[in-house]
Amino acid sequence: MTRYRLTLLPGDGIGPEITAVARQLLDAVSARHGFALDYDEQPVGGAAIDATGVPLPEATLEACRASDAVLLAAIGGYQYDALPREQRPETGLLALRSGLGLFANLRPVKILSALIDASSLRPEVIRGVDLLVVRELTGGIYFGTPKGRVEADGHVRAFNTMAYSDDEIDRIARVGFELAAQRGGRLCSVDKANVLDVSQLWRDRVEAIHADYPAVELSHMYVDNAAMQLVRDPRQFDVLLTSNLFGDILSDEAAMLTGSIGMLPSASLGSEGPGLFEPVHGSAPDIAGTDKANPLAMVLSAAMLLRIGLHQGAAAADLERAVDRVLEAGYRTGDLAAEGATVLGCQAMGEQLLAVL
Ligand code: NAD
């Protein structure tokens, strides 16, 4: 029997509650599809600060590196907010991403028909939306140098540098084309090539890499137009490929098409080694320990882990179908509840998912 090694990082706040649900479902679905999962649970974020004094212990990073895929819940809590930056939970997450060399961030946005009324947009605009934002995660203006703040001639000036090299663009473009080829076959690259030199290089390289993926239809869009098109007609998109800064903004905009942060999974991938799969939401300290968390983003992250991280697409589809069916049956966690819904806690939602699996 094929065995995979998963590192589980429950983290803080609602993290342990939603991890427990995901783990039960992973056990059930792996048994059904004839593979086995060995878990290695490790502390990260505030939990790691409490246990070891640092937000990313070396042992946690080593365990992640030695595994086939990593499933992270969320990190952070108010009690850590006053600590120096290098000791904060968020620093552990950034160190984990860079320690695993994760340069590609994937955020799928799919409107489930049962939740169509949760969006702030009209149902006819969002019905059937199924898009994927592919964001470059380790370059661009967040990391470019020089950066800083200077004082001269009685004024203060601050600056950052938006820079990409051809190899950084090529590798993220390949991720975008590969994923488009596995989905609807359309890639829209978003830039600001009418104004920025760095965007012109981005566009040139994306065109060059397109030669290796002739079956994928490539288009380009300026970022300001993309922001508009995402709310005007989001159905036109299959895969959106973009840089770190533009992707940060557009992926949050795209996420909100669904109207519910408790539903959104993500994946971060490197050129080799395990990917990191995690819900988009944070640790929700306001509801931690009250059994009110929505575990569905975590379950959908586990499905991404199965499909992308372990190439177990049929098992992933089972998990996604279970989420659809439970919602269609009218079950909701508090964050999603509308009139007439049956409101369940985190654990009970997990039990319903297991039942329909
Ligand atoms: P958050 O996503 O934790 O919470 C925002 C709101 O959404 C809260 O009202 C919360 O109760 C609700 N919410 C979030 N996820 C939910 C779920 N699964 N089910 C039900 N309700 C849910 O964001 P925040 O409040 O800005 O941050 C809280 C902490 O999380 C901070 O310490 C922050 O740094 C951290 N954070 C971590 C990550 C991560 O681990 N990737 C991401 C964002 C924020």
Same-domain check for residues 125 and 252: yes
Both 233 and 313 in one domain: the answer is no
Closest CA to 265 of 30, 22, 89: 22
Q: Looking at the predicted structure, is the pLDDT value of residue 26 above 80? A: yes
* Residue in 4, 191, 192, 213 annotated catalytic: 192
The overall average pLDDT reported for the chain is 95
248 is catalytic: yes
Cα(281) to centroid(ligand 1), Å: 5
- Domain stops at, among 224, 258, 292: 258
Q: Are residues 286 and 347 in the same domain?
A: yes
Give the distance (Å) from ligand 1 centre to CA of residue 286: 9
Distance 201 CA to ligand 1 centre (A): 36
Residue 287 near ligand 1, beta carbon < 6 Å: yes
The whole domain housing 228 covers: 119-258
**Alpha carbon 191 to chain centroid distance?**
21
Query: In terms of domains, do 195 and 279 share one?
Result: no
Q: What is the mean pLDDT of residues 160-170?
A: 97
Query: pLDDT of 271-284, one tens digit each?
Result: 999 999 999 999 99
139 lines ligand 1 (CB under 6 A): no
Pair of tokens at residue 326 = 């439970």
Q: How confident is the model at residue 118 (pLDDT cuts 50, 70, 90)?
A: confident
- Are 251 and 327 found together in one domain? no
- Atom of ligand 1 lying closest to residue 294 CA: 19
Regarding whether 253 and 275 lie in a shared domain, the answer is no
pLDDT exceeds cutoff 90 at 287: yes
Long-range contacts of 156-165 (CB under 8 A, 24+ apart): 162/196, 162/198, 162/243, 162/245, 163/139, 163/198, 164/136, 164/139, 164/140, 164/198, 164/201, 164/202, 164/243, 165/139
pLDDT at 7: 98
Q: Is 86 in the same domain as 161? A: no
Q: Are residues 127 and 241 in the same domain?
A: yes
17 phi, psi to nearest 5 deg: -65, -45
Tell which one of 248, 251, 283 to mutate to probe ligand 1, the residue whose CB is within 8 A of the most ligand atoms: 283
Banded pLDDT at 339 (limits 50, 70, 90): confident
Confidence at residue 260, expressed as pLDDT on a 0 to 100 scale: 79
| Whole-angstrom Cα Rg for the chain | 21
CATH of the domain at 16: 3.40.718.10
Which position among 167, 224, 233, 286 bears the catalytic label?
224
Same domain, 159 and 34: no
- The reply to whether 284 and 251 lie within a common domain is no
Same domain, 27 and 82: yes
What does the alpha-carbon distance between residue 175 and residue 308 come to, in Å, rounded to a whole number?
Answer: 12
> What confidence tier does 340 reach under pLDDT thresholds 50, 70, 90?
confident
Residue 222 annotated as catalytic: no
Give the residue from 203, 226, 258 where a domain finishes.
258
Phi (first) and psi of residue 76, to 5 degrees:
115, 150
Matching residue, tokens 């042992």: 59
C-alpha 260/C-alpha 242 separation (Å) is 23
Q: Does 318 participate in catalysis according to the annotation?
A: no
> 7 or 259, which is more confident?
7
Last residue of a domain, one of 210, 234, 258: 258
Instruction: Name the active-site residue from 12, 248, 318, 335.
Output: 248
Which one of 27, 40, 130, 252 is the catalytic residue? Answer: 252
User: pLDDT of 37-80, one tens digit each?
Assistant: 999 999 999 999 999 999 999 999 999 999 999 999 999 999 99
* Stretch among 163-172, 332-341, 345-354 having the lowest mean pLDDT: 332-341
Give how many domains the chain has, as a whole number. Answer: 2
Give me the pLDDT at residue 270, please: 95
181 plus 99 within the same structural domain: no
Q: CB of 293 closer than 6 A to ligand 1? A: yes
Per-residue pLDDT tens over the stretch 317-326: 999 999 999 9
For residue 204, the Cα-to-chain-centroid distance in whole angstroms is 27
